[in-house]
Amino acid sequence: MNTSATKKEVLEAYHFRHATKAFDPTQKISEDDFQFILETGRLSPSSNGLEAWKFLVVQNPELREELRPFAYGAYNQLPTASHMVVILARKGLIPESPYIYEQLTKVKKYPAEMVRNNVGAWHDFFDSFHLDNEQARTAWASKQTYIALGNMMTSAAMIGIDSCPIEGFVPDRVNEILAKRGLLGDDEYEVSVMVAFGYRAKEPRDKTRRTMEQVSEWIL
């Protein structure tokens, strides 16, 4: 592997990426390219490998328009983005959750007896992070979604596709709209963050960032 070329390509993608406020609605992402982007989200790491997320690819024009009044950060992106993803966080996880048991035994292939015997360790983990109420546990799950979010935006940039992460929305109203359509399962999920993908309508201004010295410190 030519690591110098790879590093150059990755950095070029980071310089290319910007929070695209308006997309060219005439340009659509190919199915193959978007499946690639979704796959990098699916393969993203998560705390304890729980994958406490779900990716809703919202292509329905009526649903996008219904969300628009309550997603002020996506007001311009909802009608113009090629693809809009609402990332959900799983709610109500506790050490005894059937979801955790299923994830560890069916997906990660851990022996069922080992998983049952480790419930005490899970309680210690939850206690150490003060995950003692549903709000805290959902916030913890929501943190994991941002790992997938970042990976999807980076992979998109590496193939010349623009994106915009979106936190500007009214969670209760968005959840209400999604729940009405049966998109939150049996109250299993709530909205965490949104991200729009497509092709920029105009070139952005030059990227600005604080210096490396301002944002990093080496402890030797």
Task: Report pLDDT digits (tens) over 105-134.
Answer: 999 999 999 999 999 999 999 999 999 999
Locate 129 and state its tokens. Answer: 């992070």
pTM as predicted = 0.95
State the Cα angle at 169 between 198 and 67, rounded to 5°. 70
Local confidence band at 4 (pLDDT 50, 70, 90 cut-offs) = confident
Question: Computed from CA positions of residues 88, 104, 150, 36, in that sequence, does the dihedral angle turn out positive or negative?
Answer: negative
SS3 (DSSP) at 68: helix
Backbone angles phi, psi at 83, to 5 degrees: -135, 135
In this predicted model, what pLDDT tens digit does every residue of 60-80 receive, in sequence order?
Answer: 999 999 999 999 999 999 999
Q: How many CB atoms lie within 10 A of CB 121?
A: 10
In this predicted model, what pLDDT tens digit does every residue of 187-205 receive, in sequence order?
Answer: 999 999 999 999 999 999 8
Question: Computed from CA positions of residues 10, 19, 42, 45, in that sequence, does the dihedral angle turn out positive or negative?
Answer: positive
Local confidence band at 92 (pLDDT 50, 70, 90 cut-offs) = confident
Local confidence band at 103 (pLDDT 50, 70, 90 cut-offs) = very high
pLDDT of res. 10: 93
Q: Is the pLDDT of residue 2 over 80?
A: no
Distance CA 169, CA 179 (A): 16
SS3 (DSSP) at 194: strand
Distance CA 47, CA 145 (A): 10
pLDDT of res. 3: 81
Distance CA 185, CA 192 (A): 15
SS3 (DSSP) at 184: coil
pLDDT of res. 35: 98
Report which of 17, 29, 56, 22 is spatially closest to residue 200, judged by C-alpha positions: 22
Distance CA 206, CA 188 (A): 41
In angstroms, the first-to-last Cα distance of the chain is 31
Q: Is the pLDDT of residue 32 over 90?
A: yes
Local confidence band at 30 (pLDDT 50, 70, 90 cut-offs) = very high
pLDDT of res. 149: 98
